[in-house]
Amino acid sequence: ERNLTIKLATLAPEGSSWMKAFNQLNSEVMKKTENRVQFRIYPGGVLGDEMDMLRKMKIGQIQGAALTSGGLSSLFREMDVLQVPFLFQNYEEVDTVLKKMDPFFRKGFEESGYILLGWSEAGFIYLMSILPVASVADLKKAKVWIWEESPMSKAIFDEAGVKAIPLSVPDVLVGLQTGLVDVVYAPPTGAISLQWFTRVKYLTDVPLAYLAGGILVKKDTFRQISPSYQDSIIEIFQRHLDQLKAVTRNENREAIKVMTKQGVKIITPSKDQVEEFKRLSNKAMGHISGQSFSRKVWEDVNSLLEGHRKGGR
Amino acid sequence: MILPLSVSLLLMFFGAPLFAVICGLTLILLFSVGIDSSALIIEMYRMATTPILVAIPLFTFAGYLLSESGAPRRLIRLSDAILGWLPGGLSIIALVSCAIFTALTGATGLTIIALGGILFPAMLKGGYSEKFSLGLLTTSGTLGLLFPPSLPLIIYAIVAKVRIDQLFVAGVLPGTLLVILLSSYSIYKASVSGVPRKRFNLIEVLSALKGMAWELPLPIVVLGGIYSGYFAVSEAAAITAVYVLLIEVVIYQDIKWRELPKVMRKSMVLVGGILIILGAALGLTNYLIDEEVPMKIMEFIRGHITSPFLFLVVLNLFLLAVGCIMGTFSALIVVIPLIPPIAQAYGIDPIHIGIITLANLEIGASIPPLGINLFISSIRFEKTVLRLYWASLPFIGVLLFALAIITYLPWLSLALLK
Amino acid sequence: MDGWERINERIDRVEQGLLVILLSSMIVIAFLQIVLRNLFSTGLSWGDPLVRNLVLWVGFIGAALATKEGRHINIDVLSRWMPPLGKHLADFVTQLFSFFICGFLMFAASKFIRNEAQMGNITFLGIPAWIPEAILPIVFGLMALRFGFHALREAAAILKAGKSSERGGRP
Ligand code: NA
Ligand code: NA
């Protein structure tokens, strides 16, 4: 039996908790498989963005990638549903939905030729701004950055009729300083590493959207691993990624604290204001076209959430 | 394996197009490790559609418009009037405007394309030798990288996790040092070689100013527009193109409407030549990353060198080579993540190492045999690359001297922070 | 050979026309984005991806024209010290080499396009991404043709020079 090195690309930088998790799980995989299987990680986006990773997986230069919502949904469209703005209120809801929908998503990835080794996440995205934003009306007064790769959030800004400013990510920091944009959005850890926190004054404490993450490997590569090891590799991945999820959530909480220390004010919208955001989102999702998730998945996710909210309270 | 590689290299010296040589090398190397050849195309496509590179065609077009118009003539008149009494006056104007422009456009050698066409004829007419003018404009293609809001500074801060505002401040003195040293060298050269000097004449200054009344506001429009939030840094190119089109074609009418297709063609032939080389270089970089070559070199350095002094020498050599071979943007993505943890192991300030790194990449882009600035100059000024190697050497000497100061005098990077 | 020159000139005219149209659109759209934002508080969400595709087209058409005009960047250090026949020979070999490389690149680019079509990515306004990307194999094919015919011309020049030197060599 041949030894197998699986090349895996990620945007997560060297030294991040992602890379620590990868290194740990890699040594565990090597131990478990007696060095027959190992992962070689390419961190920090050195092999390109998620689209480039997908292309390189397709031609076999790499066999795996850690992808976030954008990359995942280009492999399986239905993943888009998790990105619907104001869908989730807390991480408990995310975990409930993902647990129930896991077999469905796995099957979807497998049908396009990929095996999901485990879920992880970038976390909730928050609105951060120069002007305070608590309501849809506040949003309408502001110049809102739109990120080309976040079509769901873009849809609701379109719906709200706000001044939407498309900018590439490196332009945002200077844009915030010069007043080209007033409102941006990112996971708190992202706002720290992109240094946006040095320019924004407010953070709106309602999750705008959820950025999922997943590690995928090409099916034909995975099938080369002897079947006795396949399940344990998935188990090792999911265990380490679950730990990583806890770390990431903690880092996002810490990031908000760092921002507060920096003088960023936390704005908590009222219940009515949150409801208004949600109505806006639902209306926007009503005319998202065929390129995205199906009606059925939308209803499934909503009924899971309703069930959870009723049961949870 | 060795044979086809050496044949490709030999063909390079017989005048095979550089992109074909790099693509040939890359195809052979990819084949040797069993990666599909379309990996090279993925990289070329990625290069051509990078959002920051949208600026290349627009700035190039604007640069060609300026050079085909009466702007060089008007500029030489103005600079003669204002700084004609100072030996090397025009070369200082050239250096400063290159530095400002590069800070805005990043570091793709765009400065040479956009400003070269106006500054080169101006310098020749001003009595500077061709060799001196070529060398100055080539090495100034990335001068100014250390000044905010240059994109490499921003990318470095994000990748290496240092405070961007601190890095912006830290770059000011070292960046100024580079400009001052080059200016002093230019003044020296100009006075030795007897570049003609003129007496200061206020009336001539005013009338020269009036002559350029429409062109002079350009930098103010661009910088002012960015700093007051009317547009993004990456949009400066679009503003410049439209503004230049308006003044040269509509207002001064130096260029007729029917001449525009010819200017467009000329400028886009240049853009094509550059994009295809940058794409090929990114393709080769992809192979190097896949084989973890930069990582292995850094590991080797870490394993074999203990003295921080020696480490900085080796780091400089490594980074100059990287800047020369890969070009600034691929280098930023590939190499920067490797540096801060290692520098920390030697106890070097992360901000200082950032300035060292960027200064290296800035200079590496002009270093023979593969520095991109040399090729861009070659095609822009229609001179052989060999001639540009020769012309750039004295300037590279000055820059390396400055690099040594920046490297071993951390104060320069850190003074303004305290 | 003459037939090729005529075709080559015709292709040139098409490229020139495309360049003017595409570059003008690029300038107009990039500028329009700024105007729309500042005067009307809006922007074209398809504007930026369209401009990036225009850069791809303009750049690669420019590269094809650079091939026609023989203006690709090169480091020619040896052939300057060679006699005319040697120069023709060096030109022949380097053009033939470039012909093969561009042929390979055309092949690689076709694979790239096939993969892109299979992946089903969408660019601006719902257009499949592989459609604008198809410029890549087309340009590499065109460049291969141009290098190939250039090599043939050099070969003809070498043969002619060989024959005339034979004739000239006879007493
Ligand atoms: Na530049
Ligand atoms: Na280079």
Inter-chain touch B229–A7, beta carbons under 8 Å = no
Summarised one tens digit per residue, pLDDT across range B346-389 is 888 989 999 999 999 999 999 988 888 998 899 889 898 889 99
Element (H, E) at A100: helix A91-111
Confidence of residue C170 (pLDDT cuts 50, 70, 90): very low
Distance (Å) from the alpha carbon of B5 to chain C's nearest alpha carbon: 13
Of B14, B24, B44, the CB nearest to C93: B14
Please tell me if residue C121 touches chain B, with a CB cutoff of 8 Å: no
Inter-chain touch A174–B154, beta carbons under 8 Å = yes
Residue type, position A305, single letter: L
Please tell me if residue C128 touches chain A, with a CB cutoff of 8 Å: no
Distance (Å) from the alpha carbon of C152 to chain B's nearest alpha carbon: 16
Distance (Å) from the alpha carbon of C149 to chain B's nearest alpha carbon: 15
Residues contacting A57, CB < 8 A, separation 6+: A63, A64, A65, A114, A216, A218
Summarised one tens digit per residue, pLDDT across range C149-163 is 999 999 999 998 878
d(CA B14, CA C75): 8
d(CA A83, CA A86): 9
Orientation of helix B38-48 relative to helix C135-169, angle to 10°: 110
Of C27, C31, C74, the CB nearest to B16: C74
Residue type, position A177, single letter: Q
Q: Domain segments of chain C: what residues?
A: 2-166
pLDDT of C171:
42
Please tell me if residue B286 touches chain A, with a CB cutoff of 8 Å: yes
Instruction: Name the percent of chain C lying above pLDDT 90.
Output: 63
Distance (Å) from the alpha carbon of A63 to chain B's nearest alpha carbon: 12
Of B38, B161, B226, the CB nearest to A193: B161
Please tell me if residue A168 touches chain B, with a CB cutoff of 8 Å: yes
pTM, two decimal places: 0.88
Inter-chain touch B37–C108, beta carbons under 8 Å = yes
Of C55, C73, C109, the CB nearest to B48: C55
Lowest mean pLDDT among C65-74, C77-86, C110-119: C77-86
Distance (Å) from the alpha carbon of B215 to chain C's nearest alpha carbon: 19
Lowest mean pLDDT among A206-220, B198-212, B325-339, C81-95: B325-339
pLDDT of C168:
57
Residues of chain B with pLDDT below 70 are 105-108, 333
**Distance between Cα B315 and ligand 1 center (Å):** 24
Measured CB to CB, residues of chain A less than 8 Å from chain C are 51, 54-55, 58-59, 74, 143, 146, 148, 154, 158, 163-166, 168, 291
pLDDT of B216:
83
Lowest mean pLDDT among A114-118, A257-261, C1-5: C1-5
Q: How many residues does chain A have?
A: 313
Q: Which residues pair with A68 in a beta bridge?
A: A213
ipTM of the complex in this document: 0.91
Summarised one tens digit per residue, pLDDT across range A276-295 is 999 998 888 877 655 688 88
Q: Which residues of C touch A151 (CB under 8 A)?
A: none
Inter-chain touch A14–B338, beta carbons under 8 Å = yes
Count the neighbouring beta carbons within 10 Å of the beta carbon of residue B184: 13
Q: Which residues of A touch C47 (CB under 8 A)?
A: 166
pLDDT of A288:
65
CB C18 within 8 A of CB B264: no
Confidence of residue A24 (pLDDT cuts 50, 70, 90): very high
Q: Which residues pair with A214 in a beta bridge?
A: A67, A119
Closest CA to A281 of A136, A149, A174, A66: A136
d(CA A249, CA B259): 60
Count the neighbouring beta carbons within 10 Å of the beta carbon of residue A161: 12
pLDDT of A290:
56
Q: Is A291 exposed, middle or buried (0-12, 13-18, 19+ CB in 10 A)?
A: exposed
pLDDT of B111:
84
> How many A/C residue pairs have CB atoms within 8 Å?
35
Residue of C nearest to A155 (CA): C45
Which residue intervals of chain C are DSSP H helices?
A: 2-40, 47-68, 84-119, 130-133, 135-169
Please tell me if residue C149 touches chain B, with a CB cutoff of 8 Å: no
d(CA C114, CA C110): 6
Inter-chain touch B49–C79, beta carbons under 8 Å = no
Identify from C20, C58, C82 which residue to disrupt to test chain B contact, counting B C-beta atoms within 10 A and taking the largest count: C58
Distance (Å) from the alpha carbon of B203 to chain A's nearest alpha carbon: 39
Assigned token pair, A159: 């719906």
Q: Which residues of C touch A165 (CB under 8 A)?
A: 37, 43
Q: Which residue's structure tokens are 């702007």?
A: B71
Neighbours of chain B (3+ CB pairs under 8 A): A, C
Inter-chain touch C48–A154, beta carbons under 8 Å = no
